Structure 1
Amino acid sequence: MSNYSIKDLEHLSGIKAHTIRIWEQRYNLVEPKRTSTNIRYYDDADLKLILNVALLNNNGTKISKIVKMSEEEIRDQVIALTEGTMAFEDQIHALTVAMIEIDEENFDRILTINQRSIGFDETMLQVIYPFLAKIGLLWQIGSINPAQEHFISNLIRQKLIVAIDKYVYQGGGKKFILFLPEGELHEISLLFASYILKREGHKVIYLGQSTPKKDLLEVYNYHRPQYLITVSTTAPDLESLQEYMDDLGRIFKESKIIISGYQVMRASLEFPKNISKLDHISDIKGFVDSLDNDFTSVKS
C-alpha cells in the first residue's frame, strides 16, 4: 500500500488541496491518517475515492450528492462515464484508479475503448503518455510502490508489442538500431518508436533495455544503420550524460543519432553534430514523416 500527501492527491486528481480539506471537514469525505510524528497522509483507498469523486464532480454531479452514494454506486457511475465520454482527462483518471487497484481487466477495458474510438496512436499520445507523465513524479519520489509501476509498465508494454507484431518488414526504407543506455530499463518510449518505424516500413533492429556499448558496437558494425535511436529516462545520470553522448557521437559518427527522454530534457547539453534530440518521443512521428518515404509497410 502506498502513502500520499495531500499535494499528491491534488496532483493526481486535479482537485486543489484546499478543496479536499473543505470536503474533509464539511462532508467527512476522507479521513487522513497520521504518522508517528503526526504528519498527515492518505492511502490507496483515499486516493481512489478522491479520483472517482473528482471524475463525477467534473462531469456535473454535485459533491453533496456524491457523498450520499455507496462505494458501489460511485464505481458504477464512474464506469458508465468512462464508457460514455472520450474526454482524455476522464480516461486518465480511470486509468489511475485501475493502477491503484491493480485491476488488469479495467485497465484493458479503458485502453480498448480508446483504441476503438481514436486509434492506437492517439491512445498512446493523448491518454497513455499524459497518464505516465501525471504519475511519473510520484514514481520518482516513491509515493507509488514498485508493484503498481511494474503492473502499469508491463500492461502498456504488452499492448505495444502486440501492435508492433502486426507489421512485417518488406524491404526498403531506412535502417534503425533502437537501444537504451546501460542501466536504463524504461522502454515504453523506445517501443513506441519501434512501432511507428515498423508501421512506416523501416527496418528496425531492436536491442531494448540496458545495452552495453560493446554490444551496441558489435551490432552496429554488422548492420551499419543510417540511424540510432535511444531514450534516457534515468540512465546515465546527469553527471555522466554529456560524456555518454559525446562517446556515442564519436563511436557512431557515420550515423545519425536521435536521443530523447527525461534526462535529456532537463540537462544542459552540447550535442555532437550527428546527434539530435526529440523534445518528446511523440515527435518521432514528425521525424519519420520527414524522411523520404515512398514505400509502405505490410501487415502480416
Structure 2
Amino acid sequence: MSTYSIKDLEQLSGIKAHTLRIWEQRYNLLSPKRTDTNIRYYDDADLKLILNVALLNDNGFKISKIASMEEGEIRTEVMKLTERSLTHDDQIHALTICMIEMDEERFDKILSSNILKLGFEQTMLNIIYPFMSKIGVLWQTGAINPAQEHFISNLVRQKLIVAIDGQVVNGGGKKFLLFLPEGELHEISLLFAAYLIKSMGHKVIYLGQSTPNDDLLSVYKLHRPDYLLTVITTSPSSEYAQDYVDALSERFQEAKILITGYQVIGQDLKLPANVQQLNYIRDIKVMLEELAEVTQEK
C-alpha cells in the first residue's frame, strides 16, 4: 500500500491542499492516518476517493452532495461521466484512477473509447501523453510508486506497438534512427515518435531502450540515417546531459540529431550546430510537417 502527503493529493487531483483541509474538516471527506511520529498521511483509498470527488466537482456536482453519497454511488457517477465526457482533463482523471487501482480492463476501455472518438494520434497527443508526462513527474518526486508507473507504461507501450505495426511505409521519405541512451528505459515518447514518423511516410530504424554506444555507431554506419532521435528522461542525468549531447554531435557529425526529455528541457544546454532540441512531443509533429513542406517545394 502506498502512502501520500496532502501535497501528493494536491498534485494528483489538482485540488489545493487548503481546499482539501476545508473539505476534511467540514464534510469529514478524508480520514488521514498518523505515523508514530504524528505525521499525517493518506492511503490509496483516500487518493481514489479524492480523484473521484475532484472529477465530479469539476463537472458540476456540489461538494456537499458528493459528501453525502456512498462510495458505490460516487464510483457509478464517475463511470457514467467518463463514458460520455470528451473533456481531456476528465479522461486523464479517469486514467489516473485506473492507475491507482491497477484496473487494466477499465484503462483499456477508456483508451479504446477515446481512440474510437478521436483517433489514435489525437488520443496520444491530448490524453495519453499529458497523462504520461504527469505521472512521470510524480514518479520522479515519489508521489506514485514504480509499480504503478510500470503498470501504465506497459499498457500504453502495448497500444503503441500495435499501432506502429499497423503502418506500412512504401519507400521514400527520410531515414530516422531512434534510440535511448545507455541506462535509459522510459520508452513511451520514443515509441510515439516512431509512430508519428512512420505515419508521415518516413523510415524508422528502432533500437529502443538502453542502446550501447558501440551498437549505435555500428547501426549508424550500416544505415546512414538522415536523423537520430533520442529521449533523455533519467539517464544521463542533467549534470551530464551537456557532455552526452556534445559527444553525440561529435560522433555523428553528418546527421541531424533531435533530442528531448526531462533531463534536457529547460536545462539551458549549449546545442552544437547539428543538434536540435524538441521541447514537447508536438514539436516532432511540427518538425515532420515542415520537412514535408520542404520536400514538396523541391
TM value normalised by structure 1: 0.95
3-state SS of the aligned residue for 1:177? strand
1:147 matched residue in structure 2: 147
> Which aligned pairs between 1:226-265 and structure 2 lie closer than 5 A?
226-265=226-265
Matches within 5 A, 1:75-90: 75-90=75-90
Asked whether the equivalents of residues 11 and 134 of structure 1 are also in contact (C-alpha less than 8 Å), the reply is no
Partner of 2:208: 208
**Alignment check: 8 A CA contact 2:176 2:204 kept:** yes
State whether residues 234 and 262 of structure 1, in contact with CA within 8 Å, keep that contact through their aligned partners in structure 2: yes
Q: CA RMSD in A?
A: 1.3
Deviation at 1:141, TM superposition (A): 2.1
For 1:59, the equivalent position in structure 2 comes to 59
Question: Which deviates further from its counterpart, 183-192 or 30-39?
Answer: 30-39
Structure 1 stretch 136-145 or stretch 239-248: which is displaced more? 136-145
**Residue matched to 2:283:** 283
Determine if contact 2:135/2:149 at 8 Å carries over to the other structure: no
Cα deviations by residue, 1:155-196 (Å, 9 ceiling, x for unpaired): 111111111011122111101100001111111010011001
Contact 1:233–1:263 under 8 Å retained in 2 = yes
Structure 2: unaligned runs, 5 residues or longer: none
Q: Structure 1 residue 36: deviation in Å?
A: 1.5
Structure 1 residue 40 corresponds to structure 2 residue 40? yes
In structure 2, the residue matched to 1:220 is 220
Structure 2 distance, partners of 1:260, 1:32, is 39
Say if 2:187 is the partner of 1:191: no
Contact 2:136 2:149 survives alignment (8 Å): no
Aligned match of 1:97 = 97
Query: Which residue type is aligned with residue 246 of structure 1?
Result: D
Cα deviation, 1:251-297, whole Å, max 9, x if unaligned, reads: 110110000111111322111110001011221101111114679xx
The equivalent of 2:31 in structure 1 is 31
Checking the alignment, whether the CA contact within 8 Å between 1:261 and 1:281 is kept in structure 2 is no
The within-5 A match list for 1:120-159 is: 120-159=120-159
Identity value in percent = 67
Code of the residue aligned with 1:197 in structure 2: it is: I
Is the CA contact (8 Å cut-off) linking 2:174 and 2:226 kept in structure 1?
yes
Distance 2:221 2:136 in 1: 36
Letter in 1 for 2:77: Q
Deviations 1:73-105 (A, max 9, x none): 111110100011111111111000000000001
8 A Cα contact 2:228 2:256, kept in partner: yes
Q: Which amino acid aligns with 1:239?
A: E
Query: How many residues are aligned here?
Result: 295
Amino acid at match of 1:277: Q
> What SS does structure 2 have at the residue aligned with 1:168?
coil
1:115 Cα deviation after fit: 1.0
1:284 & 1:7 partners in 2: Cα distance?
A: 33
Distance 1:281 1:235 in 2: 19
Aligned equivalents of 2:122 and 2:7: distance in 1? 29
- The CA distance in 1 between the partners of 2:101 and 2:250, in whole Å, is 47
Q: Which moved more, 1:129-138 or 1:206-215?
A: 129-138
Q: Could you tell me how far apart the structure 1 residues matched to 2:269 and 2:177 are?
A: 23
Unaligned runs of 5+ in 1: 296-300
Q: Distance in 2 between matches of 1:200 and 1:238?
A: 31
Q: Helix, strand or coil: the match of 1:163? A: helix
Q: Give the whole-Å Cα distance in 2 for the aligned partners of 1:203 and 1:129.
A: 23
Q: Determine helix, strand or coil for the equivalent of 1:97.
A: helix
Are the counterparts in 2 of residues 181 and 235 from structure 1 also a CA contact under 8 Å?
yes
CA distance in 1, matches of 2:158, 2:33: 36
Q: CA deviation at 1:212?
A: 1.0
Where relative contact order (Cα < 8 A, 6+ residues apart) is larger, the structure is: 1
Amino acid at match of 1:84: R
Q: Deviations over 1:51-92 (max 9, x none)?
A: 101111111111121122111111111010001111111111
